[in-house]
């Protein structure tokens, strides 16, 4: 296929050989080289494929795309400013620009991307077929598969867009990480809507961003690719994001703005744990999209921050002209695996599964669940091995101070001993005077919490969320908190 000719926004310089634009394939992995392919050299964290051109030539590539001054007599060398950006634009051409034939909606932020994207998918799919790409994997209709990254590499991303298009999707909702922006994975994509949930210091370190300013900058760069921008007005950095945005339409949601939260109620019924609230819209939204307000919206995931997640999704859905009646009820039964997931709800007890795995997220979770006035709040948790010990110390201290009872257990111990991690947690937890028990086996710990529950309890099982494995000594064993909860409840029912 003619690839260079069909690639948009790509400036090239032929520095050796002659270009024959008929390629058999587009490749950037040395293990996937095929005869007459176009190979894009990428400098990765551990390996630079610019150094493997001898091997690439031997395997039959017709040309290589580079960002370094490399001249050879045995292959056509095409130089570009940035090979990651080139890979993204070439990949779009290779799959015949699928994103142009759908509406792509991207969601970025430190927290809330996964939940908001699932909520928006649920809202939009009342009227259309929707693809989903994010932390919890890729979903196209009934097909679901996992991903290595929140936002896949550009080739995989464009391939997924093509699959979505072939499946009849009108929309694709995707999470956009700051790493994806920095590594040019979304280069050249025109987003119908971009959503900013919030930002706080995270993903800062040697292999990520050098500081918060860089992290914020890359988050904001995303909005230069969006036709419409929606930001959380209650985040202190929202005005900065709006200033960086080049969108034709810019809107705010929150306690002020174009989509305003009103009348939040925290509901804990026999078969429902969540919130209800109303939205009032600005005159701009009323005039442009014909909606003044939406009342009595039910969201089946607990907490105020999930009201914000829902509001971000609802704002985008209003712009996409989803009917108010659909908006009111579509999120009542929403579930996002491992994100404040209500795994069980009855008159006596409620069980929550969440990914909270540091002090900030654990404190937020406990404060959220306190809004539902449980008689006891029981937290089942551990901490990951081969990670900063501050995380386990702080989680122990938070749970000791804020939970009514803690069940301290295993998480992903990796190459540490579970007992050593638990001892570190207990060192800080016991100093608070909080009540606790230690049960190293995570399955036994979950069974204990449920079997010894009391009427009015909320049990929060945290740390692993959507993960379907436990990593022990470098080996991943199948383990999913939700399955353990279901097994325990089933056995208890059999006894009764």
Binding site residue list:
30, 109-115, 149-151, 177, 185
The per-residue b/e assignment along 378-406, b for 16 or more CB within 10 angstroms, e otherwise, is bbbbbbbbebeeebbbbbbbbbbebbbbb
Measured CA to CA in angstroms, residue 24 lies from 37, 63, 474 at distances of: 5, 11, 39
Residues 6+ apart with CB under 8 A from 300: 272, 273, 274, 331, 332, 333, 334, 335, 342
What's the first-to-final CA gap in the chain, in angstroms? 66
Question: Minimal CA–CA distance to 175: which of 128, 253, 111, 129?
Answer: 111
Helix (H) or strand (E) holding 166: helix 154-166
Task: In whole angstroms, give the CA distance from residue 102 to residue 157.
Answer: 14
Task: In whole angstroms, give the CA distance from residue 376 to residue 403.
Answer: 8
Measured torsion, CA atoms of residues 322, 335, 171, 110, in degrees rounded to the nearest 10: 110
Q: Is residue 227 within 8 Å of 190, Cβ to Cβ?
A: yes
Q: What's the token pair of residue 446? A: 């979950």
Task: In whole angstroms, give the CA distance from residue 180 to residue 201.
Answer: 17
Q: Are strands 349-354 and 272-281 parallel, antiparallel or unpaired?
A: unpaired
Q: Are strands 349-354 and 341-345 parallel, antiparallel or unpaired?
A: antiparallel
Residues 6+ apart with CB under 8 A from 268: 350, 372, 373
Question: Minimal CA–CA distance to 450: which of 466, 465, 464, 439?
Answer: 439
Long-range contacts of 123-126 (CB under 8 A, 24+ apart): 123/313, 123/314, 123/316, 123/317, 123/322, 123/326, 123/327, 123/330, 123/331, 124/171, 124/173, 124/317, 124/320, 124/322, 126/322, 126/326, 126/330
Where does residue 474 fall: left (phi above 0), alpha (psi -120 to 50 degrees), or beta otherwise?
Answer: left
Q: Is residue 133 within 8 Å of 91, Cβ to Cβ?
A: no
Give 74's Cβ-side CA count (13 Å radius).
Answer: 9
Give binding residues for ATP as ranges.
Answer: 109-115
Question: Minimal CA–CA distance to 282: which of 250, 329, 247, 236?
Answer: 250
Residues 6+ apart with CB under 8 A from 47: none
Task: In whole angstroms, give the CA distance from residue 193 to residue 182.
Answer: 19
Question: Minimal CA–CA distance to 396: which of 425, 364, 354?
Answer: 425
């Amino acid at each position: 296929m003619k690839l260079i000719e069909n690639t948009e926004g790509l400036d090239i310089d032929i520095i050796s050989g002659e270009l024959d634009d008929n390629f058999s394939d587009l490749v950037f992995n040395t293990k996937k080289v095929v005869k007459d392919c176009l190979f894009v050299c990428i400098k990765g964290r551990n390996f630079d494929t610019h150094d493997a051109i001898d091997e690439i030539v031997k395997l039959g590539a017709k040309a290589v795309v580079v960002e370094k001054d490399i001249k050879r007599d045995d292959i056509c060398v095409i130089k570009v400013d940035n090979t990651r950006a080139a890979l993204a634009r070439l990949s779009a051409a290779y799959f015949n620009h699928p994103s142009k034939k759908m509406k792509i909606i991207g969601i970025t932020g430190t927290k809330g991307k996964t939940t908001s994207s699932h909520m928006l998918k649920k809202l939009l799919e009342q009227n259309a077929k929707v693809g989903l790409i994010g932390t919890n994997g890729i979903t196209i209709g009934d097909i679901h598969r996992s991903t290595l990254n929140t936002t896949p590499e550009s080739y995989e991303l464009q391939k997924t867009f093509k699959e979505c298009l072939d499946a009849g999707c009108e929309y694709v909702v995707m999470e956009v990480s700051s790493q994806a922006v920095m590594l040019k994975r979304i280069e050249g994509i025109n987003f119908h809507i971009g959503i900013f949930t919030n930002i706080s210091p995270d993903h800062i370190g040697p292999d990520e961003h050098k500081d918060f300013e860089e992290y914020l900058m890359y988050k904001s760069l995303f909005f230069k690719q969006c036709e419409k921008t929606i930001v959380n007005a209650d985040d202190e950095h929202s005005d900065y994001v709006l200033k960086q945005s080049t969108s034709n339409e810019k809107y705010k949601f929150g306690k002020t703005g174009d989509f305003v939260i009103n009348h939040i109620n925290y509901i804990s019924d026999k078969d429902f744990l969540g919130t209800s609230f109303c939205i009032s819209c600005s005159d701009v939204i009323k005039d442009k999209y014909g909606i003044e307000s939406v009342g009595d919206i039910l969201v089946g995931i607990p907490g105020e921050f999930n009201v914000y997640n829902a509001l971000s999704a609802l704002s985008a859905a209003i712009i996409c002209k989803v009917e108010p009646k659909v908006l009111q009820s579509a999120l009542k039964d929403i579930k996002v695996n491992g994100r404040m997931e209500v795994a069980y709800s009855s008159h006596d007890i409620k069980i929550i599964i969440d990914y909270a795995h540091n002090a900030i997220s654990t404190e937020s979770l406990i404060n959220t669940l306190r809004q539902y006035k449980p008689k006891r709040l029981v937290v089942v948790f551990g901490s990951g091995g081969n990670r900063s010990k501050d995380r386990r110390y702080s989680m122990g201290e938070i749970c000791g101070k804020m939970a009514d009872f803690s069940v301290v257990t295993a998480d992903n111990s990796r190459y540490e001993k579970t007992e050593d991690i638990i001892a570190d947690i207990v060192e800080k937890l016991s100093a608070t005077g909080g009540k606790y028990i230690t049960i190293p086996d995570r399955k036994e710990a979950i069974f204990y919490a449920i079997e010894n529950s009391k009427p009015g309890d909320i049990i929060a099982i945290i740390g692993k969320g959507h993960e379907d494995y436990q990593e022990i000594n470098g080996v991943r064993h199948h383990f999913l908190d939700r399955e353990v909860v279901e097994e325990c409840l089933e056995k208890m029912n059999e006894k009764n």
